[in-house]
Structure 1
């Protein structure tokens, strides 16, 4: 009787891991596609907030790829990977800061049409990703950190749309830089949360 219960648990774990891998593959593909789209739109529109979003999508794609690699691994390994994810988010924040600094010395008014279209497409894609990852938000540190990245993407998508609207309304480039700066703060806070969670898990497992 106990053997049957043990087999049931093994089957449940295997099914959960298979579901995690399937979801991570889908969100990885979505983020790679949105990165290419957002990067092209950022170049065409001269938008710092779009570039911030594209870098975030690239970082997320790397995060999901790493998460996929450690599904089924030990909690210690997942905690170390979560630490790497936090560092990737931090690198994205640094890249955004550099972009903002460059744009301050090379001011330009972004094309709000490109920002709006790319932002809307990106927000829709991010919504799908968050919906797919939502069942795992309270799971292990690996999937929880992946959900954290996806939640950030929703805020980022809404922020880019607001930036496009403000650029159109004011006919100036400062709203784009303001939103990019807000995204920078969000990335820094998210990186800190993920790094703290990973470090806490590593200490527990160690």
Structure 2
């Protein structure tokens, strides 16, 4: 009976890992597609917030690829890989900061129509990703950090839509920079949160103390 239970447990774990891999492949492909779409739209519209979102999607695609590689690995290894994910989010934040500085030196008014259409498509795609990852949000550090990235994408999508609306309403470029700055803060907070959790997971457990 115990052997059967053991076999059943192995089958369940293998099935769970297969589902995780499938979900990660889907969200990886979605983020690659949205990165290309938003990068082209950012180039056309001259939008800092849209470019920030596209860089975030590229970072997320890399994060999902890394997550896919360590499905089924040890908790310690997943913690080490989550450190890499945190640094990827931090890299996206740095890229956003550089873009904001560049736009401040080269001011302009983005094309809000391109911003709005791209932002709506991106939000819809990100909503699908979050829906797919939500069942795993309380799982191991690998899937939990992937869900964290997807949740940030929802905030980013709503923020870029707001930026497009404000650019249209005021006929100025400053709302785009304000939203990009807000996304910068969001990415920094998320990077710190993921790095802290990953650091706890990646540290080797202390050996049990023996009392005599």
Smaller-chain TM-score bracket: over 0.9
- When residues 205 and 32 of structure 1 are mapped into structure 2, their CA distance, relative to the original with a 3 A threshold, is farther
Secondary structure of the structure 2 residue equivalent to 1:179: helix
Runs of 4+ in 1 over 6 A off after TM superposition: none
Number of corresponding residues: 206
> Equivalent residue for 2:116?
116
Between the aligned partners of 1:154 and 1:8, the Cα distance in structure 2 is 37
Any idea what the Cα deviations from partners look like across 1:95-154, whole Å, max 9, x if unmatched? 000000000000010000000000000000000000000000000000000000000000
CA RMSD of aligned residues (A): 0.7
Secondary structure of the structure 1 residue equivalent to 2:196: helix
Larger Rg: 2
> Equivalent residue for 2:106?
106
> Equivalent residue for 1:137?
137
* Gap runs ≥5 in structure 1: none
TM score, norm. by length of structure 2: 0.96
* Gap runs ≥5 in structure 2: 207-212
> Equivalent residue for 1:31?
31
> Equivalent residue for 1:74?
74
Between the aligned partners of 1:66 and 1:16, the Cα distance in structure 2 is 18
Alignment of 1:33-112 (within 5 A): 33-112=33-112
Assess if the C-alpha contact under 8 Å between 1:75 and 1:205 holds in 2. Answer: no
Secondary structure of the structure 2 residue equivalent to 1:71: coil
TM score, norm. by length of structure 1: 0.99
> Equivalent residue for 2:209?
none
Between the aligned partners of 1:6 and 1:28, the Cα distance in structure 2 is 33
Assess if the C-alpha contact under 8 Å between 2:76 and 2:203 holds in 1. Answer: no
Between the aligned partners of 1:159 and 1:153, the Cα distance in structure 2 is 10
Between the aligned partners of 1:44 and 1:150, the Cα distance in structure 2 is 25
